[in-house]
Structure formats: C-alpha cells, structure tokens
Structure 1
Amino acid sequence: MTQPETGPAPSMAGPQSPEASPAAPAAPAPAAASASPTAGSGSRSRRGEPRTYDFRRPTKLSREHVRVLQIAQEAFARQATTILTTFLRAGARLELATIEQQSYDDYLATLPSPVFISTFTLEPLAGKGLLAYPLDIAMATVDHMLGGSGRAAQPNRPMTAMETAITNHLLSRLLDEFAASFASITEIQPALNGFEYNPQLAQAAAGSDTVMVATFSMAVGAREGDATLVLPFSSFAQALNNAASPQLSETALAKRRRAAEALTARLNLVPVDVSVRFAPLSVSSADLLSLAVGDVLLLRHPPDAPLEVTTNDVTFAYAIASNHRRRLAATIVPTPYAAAKDTA
C-alpha cells in the first residue's frame, strides 16, 4: 500500500505546479534559520567575553552595592581630576570604568610588574586599601611637580626618598578627597601606609579575601593607563547594606518594632540551666589521675564567702546556702566586691 501512494506523486507534480506556487515562498526558511546563529553570535559579542566565575566565592556585591559605590567612586574621580590638574599644572583625567568583586590573589595577578602601589589604612575600619597605577605615570607626576614637562622617558625603578616625599603630598590630598567622597557610606580617616612596586609583595589583604576593585582610566599629559582602587569588602559590607537599604515607611517600622517585642518576650521564656557552685579548684594532672575513693579534696573556698551562681560557666550572681519549705535553696546576696566597696 505504501508504493501506490508514493509512486503517483511524481506524475502529479506537473498538474499541481500552479497550486504549488503559493508554497514557493517557504523556501527561504532554511536561510532564516541559518541566519539566527549569526544574530546570536552578534548579541554575545556585544555582551563581551566570557568571564570566570568561582563558585567557592559567590558574588557578594549586589546591584544596590554597586550603585552606591559607583556614586562615591565617580565623585572621587571628579575631585581627583581637579587635584591632579591643580598639582601637576597639566592636563589630567581620572574616569571610573568598572567596579568588580575579586579575590585579592586574582587581582594581584592582573597587575604588571613593576607597578606603583600605595597602601593605606582605613581607620576606624579594619583592613587596608590599595591604589595602583602605572609606574611611568607615577614618575611623570613627580616630573610635573618639579616643573618638568613629563614627556621625557621615565625611569623604570623604585622612587628615591625625595620622589617618595613629593608623591606623599599628592597622595595624601587624594586620600582626603577619597574620604570625603565616601562620607555618605561611612566615616573613614585614610592614612598612607607605604609604597610597593612588586604586586606580590603588596600586603594589603589575605590572598583569599574578597575585595572591591574600582578600575579608572587615568591620563596625565600624553600618558594614559589604568588605575585601580581596591577596598576590602568585609570592612565595608555593613556600611554598604545601610547605604543601599531604602528608607522604611512608618508601617514597616511598626512591624519591626512588634517583631522585636515578640522576640524579646519569647527570649524571656527560654529555660536556662543555672548552677550554684563553690569556687573552681585547680589540681595537677597527677593528682587528678591518682584520686581514689575516700580521698579528700581541699576546696579552698573561704567559709564566709558566698557561692557562685553560674550559667554556661559565666558567673552572674552570688548566693549563700539556705532552705525553703524543707528544700535546699540558695539566697542571692550582693556581690562580694560591691559589699567591700560599700564598707570602705
């Protein structure tokens, strides 16, 4: 039965050709299908190259965090541009490019060697910050501040003591603007900690620590390069959360208050194990191992001293042995130190 159905098809192709003509426009469909990968590849190229994602270090910078940081870093870039132009008396530019989260080791791997690195403290926050930019730009800034043009070939070496002192003055001014730009996030008082030229010797954080890396495009005169400002995420995490959270409405604040009151009421009902004990006694390992039935341990607890009332090995009150309705009890008494103070 299959052959009679398939056989006559070729002979009927001629008479049906006028009817087949409307289906002719369907032929370009394969071309459209083949064009779709091209469009997809174009969209991928617009999104940029693939980037490595470490699942052991999940992303901690949320979109709100990046927005808050972007506002502060852009303000710093504008002020830094003014400071550089004023100090160097030459055209200078600092523009924010990206803000990323990386491990400190991964960041150091992106730096060339040698490179100019300055580390600074972040009092009262823990940790250190880091500012890095090309060494030839750092040398050119010294040249400009000494009255030069900055166009000559710059030495590829560590700075001398005089060059370091001149650069300190410029960086201290930049750090003041950095603190002012971050005032909306948290109050900090950055101070220069030191210079380094080998990235592997820059001890600003542990290798596995998560850091926030802001990349700037930097230009001093005719010289251009990338500058990076690195901050420890753990030190700024709470401040970023506070700055990124929107203002709560009165209804939301009332809900939080009720939740806090309910939590406090529940905590007051949690049972806690309490012990009344003599003062702890220290014995040697030999004495402890040689204990036998009938041995006597001297507690060295003064007869008139109260007992300790403890929970989880924390003494929070004192008591004396008593009885209540034919049961052994403990009567809470003043702290011995407080009693001695009152007597004095």
Structure 2
Amino acid sequence: MTEVLSQDEIDQLLTAISSGDIETEEIRQPTDQRKIKIYDFKRPDKFSKEQIRTVSIMHETFARLSTTSLSAQLRSMVQVHVASVDQLTYEEFIRSIPNPTTLAVINMDPLKGSAIMEIDPSITFSIIDRLFGGQGEGAKVTRDLTDIEQSVMEGIIVRILGNMREAWSQVIDLRPRLGQIETNPQFAQIVPPTEMVVLVTLETKVGDVEGMMNFCIPYLTIEPIIGKLSAQYWYSTVRRGATTENLNILRERLSTIEVNIVAEIGRMNLTVRDVLSLVPGDVIRLQNTRTGDPFSLNIGNRPKFLCKPGQIGNKLAVQIVKKLEDVQVQDFEELDDVEGDE
C-alpha cells in the first residue's frame, strides 16, 4: 500500500534537499532489489529437482540389487551406492571419463534411443581378475580389453541390466539390452554433444579396489516418461501396488515358477514304533477314505481339486473332477489340526 506524505513532511523533505542533508541519488535509488538468476541457454535445465530426486531413489534400489548380485557372482565383498545424480551436456560427460574405459551402449526398450553405462577401468580389471581366479586386483597399466575380457564383461553387464529392469519397474516395464561395448569414448556418440543428459554416478568397491560406475541417460530417451518421474507419482504407485501394469508383471513372473502337485490317496496316523516295524506286504488302513472316493489334488500344501486316478499310455494320471471351494479347503486344514492334536 502506497504511503501518502503530509504537507509538513513534504516541506521538511524539500528543506533537507536544499540544505544538502539528503542526496537526490539516494531518493532515486530503487528499493526493489530483485535477485537475478543467470540462465545458460547452451545447457538448459530440463530436469527438475523433484525428477532428479526420483531418479536417485530408483538407482538406490538398483545399487542395492547390484551389490547383492555382484557379491554372489564374484564371491567377494562388493559395495555399490549412489554418489550423485546430475544433469549436464553429453560432451561434458564424455570429457569426464578416462580413455580407454568400458563403455556399454544400452538399448532402452521400449524407450527410444540408447543410454551409456561406463565402468571405471580399475573396477573392470578387478572384476576380471576375480573371475579368472585372482584376488581382485585392479589394473596396473591402462589398456584396451582383450576379446576374452570383453566377453566376460558382457556377461557382467547383462546381469547388472536385470537389476536395472527391476529398479525401474515402478515407472516403466524397461527391457534394457546390451548393444555393444566400446573402449574409446569418442566412438560412443549416441546423441549430439550439446544434448542434456542425466548422469547417475555410483561409487563401487570390489574388495579393496574402489572406482566409479556411471549411468548416462539422454533427455531424449527419458522424455516420454518424464511426467512419471515425480514424487507424487512414485509414492502413489508404491502405495497403490496392485495396478494393472504391476499385476501383468507379477503374472508373467509367476507363470514360470514350478510348484509341486501331489495326488493324496489318504492319511493315517502311526506311531514311530509302528513305522519302524513296517515290512513289504503290510496293509495300512486309511482313515476317512472309502474305495471309489476321489483323491485330493494338493498344490503345494493346500488341497485345491478333487481327482480320480487313471492312465494315459503307460503312465499313471489323474483327472480333475471338481474344484474345492474356500470353505472346503478350510475344512481340510481344520481336519489336519485335529489329527495333529490327536
């Protein structure tokens, strides 16, 4: 709100200016001093702080999974954790890494474009030395990888990419694939030099050898899902849990799991003394089972179906005749508890 001066205040102000007590420059000086932020049009910020934070959370999960998988594969103590997540130009990233090094070009299906995974030479040669039966010592001289060493690192990177797919599962069903391995950074031009990228730096320790593992993702590649890289979407997805996308992933993974299916003819309680005295030819009378009754087909330890015995070719088989309801399954469990108490 503008302050209005009275006539006496105006006269005092004019008198002070005439006598030189107040400089006119002091009056003209603006009181509104705004903070100016320098903006570089050559490298604009395309990722917000919230999106950078979400990328960091995703790769903290990736680091934990990689720590476990690499420790098991190398049979050595491996530690991986996120050191920083920054946005910079692709040219700055290329200049910051050594030459030669291990550069893996990653196809980010279903996203368009590729990403770069760079593994420090000290970590690379420590992994190779460990897999070849050594103590896991780093490289004493800088050199390119041989064909055999490159093949070994391909297996390591493919294993690491499986962890990346799981870490990104809350945002997208990522299917990263190893394209090729380069040792000269100048040969890995996946985007223009001025294109902005997000760089995830992972501090890695294999035994006593320390180094860096960098994951470089161009903005053009991650742009289609940039809206999902927010804390609100991330936590709502984690809290929601049972989304259609997650259920499809669970179904796909569960469909390959093997379970035991047992056709149970019947049950009988015997003492240990009776069991030890059993010989071929003895007949055991089953409880609550009559000739012609269907068998219980158990999946795992739970009865799920009723079935009848039969034969297909030269092999024994069972035919499912009825699906057990939840109430009947509960009755089976109660019956087991009663038999256990007896």
Q: Report the secondary structure of 1:100's partner residue.
A: strand
Instruction: From 124, 139, 150, give the equivalent of 2:110.
Output: 124
Residue number in structure 2 paired with 1:57:
43
Aligned CA distance change for structure 1 residues 225 and 153 (closer, same or farther; 3 Å): closer
2:155 corresponds to which residue? 169
Equivalent in 83, 88, 108 of residue 97 of structure 1: 83
Q: Distance in 1 between matches of 2:138 and 2:195?
A: 39
Alpha-carbon contact 1:185-1:240 (below 8 Å) kept: no
Q: Give the structure-1-normalised TM-score.
A: 0.54
* Residue aligning to 2:136: 150
Give me the whole-angstrom Cα distance separating, in 2, the residues matched to 1:151 and 1:53: 45
For 1:111 and 1:243, locate their aligned partners in 2 and report how far apart those are by CA, in whole Å: 27
Equivalences for 1:187-336 in 2 at 5 Å? 187-244=173-230, 246=232
Map Cα deviations across residues 263-286 of structure 1 (whole Å, 9 max, x no partner): xxxxxxxxxxxxxxxxxxxxxxxx
Q: 1:92 to 1:245 in 2, by over 3 A?
A: closer
Provide closer, same or farther for how the CA distance between residues 53 and 75 of structure 1 changes in structure 2, counting only shifts above 3 A: farther
**Within 2, Cα distance between the matches of 1:91 and 1:135?**
18
Q: Matched residue of 2:79: which SS?
A: strand
Distance 1:138 1:241, change over 3 A: same
Distance 1:146 1:67, change over 3 A: same
Conserved 8 A contact 1:123-1:189 = yes
State whether residues 217 and 225 of structure 1, in contact with CA within 8 Å, keep that contact through their aligned partners in structure 2. Answer: yes
Match of 1:150, as an amino acid? G
Structure 1 spans left out of the alignment, 5+ residues: 1-51, 248-344
Instruction: Decide whether the 8 Å contact of 2:87 with 2:198 is kept in 1.
Output: yes
Q: Measured at CA, do residues 130 and 88 of structure 1 come closer, stay the same or move farther in structure 2, by a change above 3 Å?
A: same
Q: Quote how far apart the aligned CAs of 1:216 are.
A: 1.2
The answer as to whether partners of 2:138 and 2:209 remain within 8 angstroms in 1 is: no
Q: Partners in 1 of 2:186 and 2:39 — Cα distance? A: 23
Distance verdict in 2 for CA 1:187–1:204, change over 3 Å: same
Distance 2:140 2:170 in 1: 38
Checking the alignment, whether the CA contact within 8 Å between 1:139 and 1:155 is kept in structure 2 is: no
Q: Aligned letter for 1:135? A: P
TM-score normalized by the length of structure 2: 0.54
Output the amino acid matched with 2:189. Q
SS in structure 2 of the partner of residue 119 of structure 1: strand
In the TM superposition, what is the alpha-carbon distance from 1:201 to its structure 2 partner?
1.7
Taking structure 1 as reference, are residues 221 and 53 closer, same or farther at Cα in structure 2, changes over 3 Å only?
farther
In the alignment, is the contact (CA less than 8 A) between 1:121 and 1:127 conserved in 2? yes
Instruction: For 1:77, give the aligned amino acid.
Output: A
Choose 1 or 2 for highest CA Rg: 1
Identical counterparts, % of pairs: 27
The aligned counterpart of 2:281 is none
Cα pair 2:125 2:137 within 8 Å, conserved? no
CA distance, structure 2, for counterparts of residue 103 and residue 232 of structure 1 = 9
In structure 2, distance between residues paired with 1:184 and 1:67: 15
Q: After TM superposition, where is structure 1 displaced by more than 6 Å over at least 4 residues in a row? A: none
SS at match of 1:246: helix
Structure 1 contact 140–154 (Cα < 8 Å) conserved: no
Distance between the aligned counterparts of 1:74 and 1:246, measured in 2? 18
Helix, strand or coil for the counterpart of 1:97?
A: strand
Contact persistence 1:136–1:155 (CA under 8 A):
no
* CA–CA distance in structure 2, aligned partners of residues 153 and 242 of structure 1: 40
Deviation at residue 237 of structure 1 after TM alignment: 2.4
CA distance in 2, matches of 1:206, 1:152: 33
CA 1:156–1:185 in 2, change beyond 3 Å: closer, same or farther? Answer: same
1:155 to partner: Cα distance: 4.8
Quick one: which amino acid aligns to residue 232 of structure 2? P
Task: Specify the SS of the correspondent of 1:55.
Answer: coil
Aligned to 2:3: none
- Supply the AA of the counterpart residue of 1:96: V
Question: Equivalences for 1:78-89 in 2 at 5 Å?
Answer: 78-89=64-75
In the TM superposition, residue 215 of structure 1 has moved relative to its aligned partner by 0.8
Shift of 1:151: 2.6
* Helix, strand or coil at the partner of 2:56: helix
CA distance in 1 between counterparts of 2:89 and 2:97 reads 13
Say which SS state the counterpart of residue 232 (structure 2) adopts.
coil
Q: Cα distance, 1:154 vs. partner?
A: 4.5
1:33-52 equivalent positions in 2, closer than 5 A: none
- The separation in 2 between residues aligned to 1:180 and 1:242, in whole angstroms, is 16
